[in-house]
Chain A
Amino acid sequence: MSTSNPSGNVLEVRGVSKSFNGVHALADVDLDVPEGSIVGIIGPNGAGKTTFFNVVAGALRPDSGHVRLFGKDVTGLPPHRIAHAGMARTFQLMRPFGSMTARENVVAAALTRGGSHKDARLAADEVIDATGMAAWADATSDSLHTAALKRLELARVLAIRPRILLLDEVLAGLVPAERAPVVDLLARLREAEGLTLVFVEHIMQAVMKLSDTVVVFDRGRVIASGEPTEVVADPRVVEAYLGQELTGA
């Protein structure tokens, strides 16, 4: 059932729910991501944001619902098939290939694009420069600190040339000074290569600055979505974040 892509949406999520022995992590979630757009996902801890990424990227099989990528149904496909279909994701807790150097991590990712080792090495160099990793590219990745590892996650994912990228708190753990270059890089990628971005983030200025639309998760449900300024003002969102009594007073 692979319809052509009439709606122009890169990613369509319909009625996805997932529960772990009784606990509803996701309940009937719908989400559309138009091509070339940047969607920010916010919500309190445990709202199901990372579970959502895991289901969409194929790491978890949804109990019900569908995920369509460029119009093609990819529900339940393993992560590597989805990656080849053009959607890649980073992890909230960094997962480097510890025994390899940062450069080797990126080359390994670039290799999955096919082509020769030389092409992969060239692609890797390009991404390393773009993400400003050149300084410590040849250190073994298990000796890197958080900021470097975040940069490495991003570089690895970019090396496989995705058309849509799921970023799970890529700014977390970065001091303000380190955030700006990453935010600029993401914006540049969208402009230059028409990359569609979906990112989970808690740092509101980044969300406000980058997102075309913002989607709010709370207890496994999408409780609001729309323009950043609009969504932030929505009472239900405030209540979700700040809790009941405060708003009631």
Chain B
Amino acid sequence: MTARTTSEEAVPSEGGTISRGGTSRRAALGRSPVTVTFALLIGLTVAALLRSGSTAITGQALLTGLIAGGVYSLLAMGLSLIFGVLDIVNFAHGAFLGVGLFVTYEVAHQTGLNPYIALPVAIVGLFVLGALIQLLLLNRTIGGSLERQLLITLGLSLLISNVLLLAFGGDPLSANLTSDPGVHVFGAVANLSRVIAFGAALVLAVLLYVLLERTSFGRAIRAVAASRQGAGLVGIDVRLVYVVTFGLGTACAGAAGMLIAPFTTITPTAGDQFNILAFVVVVMGGLGNVTGALVSGLIVGLVEQLGGVAIAGQSPLLGVFILFLLILLIRPQGIFGAKAP
């Protein structure tokens, strides 16, 4: 991702450094990132098998890894639009997930019906909230400095979680399904609500892919991602694209909030834990590459669960961060290649 320093596009930004040629080793490793990642997962699976000595546990780790990964992908796809395409470092993304959780709780609580009817409410509600925030606050920071944008989104995250605290209090809440049976897959098992969330992640990936690649508005989004000034010159209303794309990103977070509500304890700060993982997944998948975000979300879920079985005594997140740093250094465009430059 070329750096967007504050200078306009015309003057070659610092990122347009005359690169002294990529180091040869990086090119070799970079050429086959998918195979390298796949090999890593195989290695981890074997290590988990050896350490746990049981196919049942390893099989369960694989299934839970995929399913948990689906949740990470759900959140990351929204962020891939915001951070990947709009280049906005949005540290309030977890808080938007929290809003989705509470919308689902409120709808299920008031109507007493199945929480899934809250899905459209969460999507539309979060779209409007996201669009308004971009329109009123973040549009002013386009092209501004990175640290200022970060501070504003951190402030937003603090604001949202504490407004939720004021409105709903700090006690944990839940929006359970009346029955959430286990779905058995080759001996491993996962709750129905988690499988539905996983399926929704696949559907969302397809929807976003079609939107970005097959619709005219999608083309406008990708144009703005490629060059804000260039898009403006060819008559794209850049500000409108920012507002709608940010809204789409938060709508994804709202959908993710609704989908994980049945198996998550709902508190005002519930979304914060997903923030940094979402950024990790977005960068790994390749900026703006929605399908990349889907697959790298699954990879992070697998590394976390398999790591938990294979390495005792250390937090599995450590493995995820090490993989993240390797990707940042050796394959900055992400495992699957960035759509945004």
Name A's B-contacting residues (CB within 8 A): 54, 59-61, 78, 93, 98
Contact = CB atoms under 8 A, between A and B. Distances in A.
Contact of B7 (A60, A78, A98): A98
Nearest to B21: A61
A54 B21 CA distance: 12
Contacts of A59: 18, 20
B28 interface: no
Contacts of B21: 60-61
B234 interface: no
A59 B11 CA distance: 18
B12 interface: yes
Q: Which 4 A-B pairs have the closest CB atoms?
A: A59-B18, A61-B21, A61-B20, A54-B18
B137 to A, nearest CB: 27
Size category of the binding interface on chain B = under 10
Contacts of B11: 93
A54 B12 CA distance: 15
Main SS of chain B's interface residues?
loop
Interface string B1-45: 000000100011000001011000000000000000000000000
A61 B24 CA distance: 12
Nearest to A50: B18
B4 to A, nearest CB: 15
A57 to B, nearest CB: 10
Contacts of B20: 59-61, 78
A227 to B, nearest CB: 33
Nearest to B11: A93
A98 B11 CA distance: 12
A149 to B, nearest CB: 11
B159 to A, nearest CB: 33
A60 B11 CA distance: 20
A54 B11 CA distance: 18
Given A60-B21, A93-B11, 10 more contacts: A54-B18, A59-B18, A59-B20, A60-B18, A60-B20, A61-B20, A61-B21, A78-B20, A93-B12, A98-B7
Contacts of B12: 93
A60 B22 CA distance: 11
Contacts of A93: 11-12
12 contacts: A54-B18, A59-B18, A59-B20, A60-B18, A60-B20, A60-B21, A61-B20, A61-B21, A78-B20, A93-B11, A93-B12, A98-B7
A61 B19 CA distance: 9
A74 to B, nearest CB: 14
A62 B300 CA distance: 40
Contacts of B18: 54, 59-60
A117 to B, nearest CB: 27
Contacts of A78: 20
A14 B317 CA distance: 53
B14 to A, nearest CB: 10
A85 B300 CA distance: 49
